[in-house]
Structure 1
Amino acid sequence: MNATSGARRIIRVDGVLDASAADRLARALADGTPDADVAIDLSHVRAFDDFAVMMLGRTLSARGHVTIQGLRQHHVRLLRYLGLGDGDGARA
């Protein structure tokens, strides 16, 4: 996982999104300014754990604007069931 800064903070996740990766992602989001514009790039994740996506959803519900890229349709639906997302993987 790495983060770049600028006008928009981008957090990239590689490998597997499991519970420990979701926890690291939650800590990375908590380290930033709550109102900051953040993008999470999951396009290089090769395996998603449903529980980790649910953990991510809980983290996102406490944040300001976060955009997510690279989720598979199944995980977009999971986030939508949690009341997050606008149908294309992004949360406004």
Structure 2
Amino acid sequence: MSLRSIALLSLMVVLTACSKINQENYAKLKAGMTKVEVEQLLGTPKECSGALGMSSCTWGDESSFISVQYAADKVLMYSGQGLK
């Protein structure tokens, strides 16, 4: 294995380990948290949508994600899948 391959593999491992989309951060979510508090914990969401004071935001990808539903910018419900 070349030095370049080892360096690339090491970088990928470090980036994966630094993901905020994990079981530890999921466990910190609580109903009633503000949108700002959630974004401080998880970072900027991948996507958000909503209307009439309700919204839903998702962090992660198809295999590992956290989804948070808000009412008036406060956490109403949340779910996760594929978290490590």
TM-score range, shorter chain: under 0.3
- The structure with the larger Rg is 2
